[in-house]
Amino acid sequence: MPTYEYKCLEKDHRFEVFQPITDDALDTCQECGAPATRLISRNVGISFKGSGFYVTDSNSTSSTSSAGSASSQNKTTTESSTAG
């Protein structure tokens, strides 16, 4: 469930609410009851970890060595085909 940030239009209170995407935006401040507006989200860093992602996304030495050997084989094949 996403977290939405709201701002009170009268007293500048700021608060966050966990809401389903299908819910309408709140229109009142939870602290004072004054009108409130939903703020545009800030950029949030996302880190994907686990199996199923690109080999280069991991710092594992076994993944790096297999990716390095594959790229060196590809480079050798490319050089030999362009030389002839």
18: region left, alpha or beta (phi > 0 left; psi from -120 to 50 alpha): beta
pLDDT score recorded for residue 26: 92
pTM above 0.75, yes or no: no
pLDDT score recorded for residue 64: 46
The pLDDT tens digits for 16-68 are 998 898 999 999 998 999 999 999 876 666 777 777 666 665 565 554 445 55
Domain ranges for the chain, please list them: 3-38
pLDDT score recorded for residue 43: 63
Cα–Cα dist 51/65, whole Å: 17
